């Protein structure tokens, strides 16, 4: 028996201002910190920053991005 997962692709939009334009600030970024005396380290993240309002967005490695020139 085979199980298939379909990943829904959505257009990028900033949750603050609704803009669909962002610049890549970093790939394979790991965040670390401490919460209630426990340290944590995230998996690799891609960090984008909204061009219009400057809001930072974090995505895991399953996210795929394209630019208009790639369409």
Paired strand residues for 34: 39
- Residues 11-69 pLDDT 10s: 778 999 999 899 999 988 888 888 888 898 888 888 999 999 999 999 887 777 666 55
Q: What is the pLDDT of residue 71?
A: 44
Rounded to whole angstroms, the Cα distance separating 42 from 35 reads 13
DSSP one-letter string for 1-61? -----PPPP-----TTT----EEEEEEEE--EEEETTEEEEPPPEEEEEETTT--EEEEET
- CA dist 65 and 11 (Å) reads 9
């Amino acid at each position: 028996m085979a199980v298939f997962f379909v990943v829904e692709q959505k257009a990028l939009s900033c949750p603050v201002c609704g803009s669909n334009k962002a610049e890549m600030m970093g790939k394979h970024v790991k965040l670390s910190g401490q919460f209630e005396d426990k340290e944590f380290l995230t998996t690799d993240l891609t960090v984008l920053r909204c061009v219009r309002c400057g809001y930072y967005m974090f995505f895991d490695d399953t996210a795929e991005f394209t630019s208009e020139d790639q369409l």
